[in-house]
Structure 1
């Protein structure tokens, strides 16, 4: 099984981008060195929040293809306080 070298970029909503920046959450390179590319419906856990791959967008800059993953808003159950 060969590893892919396809650049994969995660696209967050503006609110989630702000949360990542303000909370200093680092986004790991989930797919680096893997043979399988992500598909719609895959779930990613980042900083205690869950994001779902809603769509995949293939882009090409004239040199190389890139796979952009459009993610759902990440709202964790831990963000809600009951009682």
Structure 2
């Protein structure tokens, strides 16, 4: 698929959406110009937090294919996970 004709939309939890707005974080277009689409399990770092792609949904708006990515809740950089 031609990446120029694909729109990728990130779906954040409500808490993470509020955090992004409050912190005035600009979410970069990670896949702009890349020939490979993101996969389930890929991790993104945005504003010092990590998000993992948990699911993908393909949609079409009548003119452009859309890949909607459902992300995990973000974890602050200082979060520690054991096990």
Interval containing the TM-score (normalised by the shorter chain):
0.7 to 0.9
Contact 2:50/2:75 (<8 A) preserved: yes
Q: Is the 8 A contact 1:43 1:53 kept in 2?
A: yes
Aligned residues: 79
TM-score by length of 1: 0.87
Max Rg structure: 1
Let me know the Cα RMSD of the aligned residues: 1.7
Runs of at least 5 residues in structure 2 that lack an aligned partner in the other structure: none
- Please name the residue that 1:44 is paired with: 44
CA contact 1:45–1:51 (8 Å) conserved in 2: yes
Structure 2 length normalisation: TM-score?
0.87
Q: Which runs of 5+ in 1 are unaligned?
A: none
